[in-house]
Amino acid sequence: MDKYKEVIKALTEFRDDRDWKQFHDSKNLALAISIESAELNEIFLWKNGEEAENVKKEKIKEELADILSFSFLLAEKHNLDIFDIVLDKIKINAEKYPVDKAKGTAKKYDEL
């Protein structure tokens, strides 16, 4: 079994053992992703560049795990392959941000 299938199996078993699927509708999963993302942001709040780069990796791991877990569950709910959707998005972004215009700048695609 590949790692992705192993993770999805573990997540859904954890959820189902606790009868939490009833709470995992699309809206609540999306909200959970947003809330966990805010908790990741909180780790960096009020820190300068160097301080932000030196936060405890364990805290980052915990919040990223929550974000990814809810993201994987939302993708699984809608039968989306996370690898395909990310690769598709990279193709879209490559068109929006051609190297010759976007290299070295943080401008949005409509400002290039």
9-45 pLDDT, tens per residue? 999 999 999 999 999 999 999 999 999 999 999 999 9
Classified by CATH at the fold level, domain 3-81 comes out as Helix Hairpins (1.10.287)
**pTM of the complete model:** 0.89
Distance CA 42, CA 59 (A): 10
Q: Where are the beta strands (DSSP E) in 35-83?
A: none
- What pLDDT is attached to residue 108? 87
Q: Is 81 within 8 Å of 20 (Cβ atoms)?
A: no
Note whether 9 and 1 are within 8 A (CB): yes
Angle at 64 between CA 62 and CA 70, to 5 degrees: 105
- Amino acid code (one letter) for 17: D
Contact 38, 62 (CB under 8 A): no
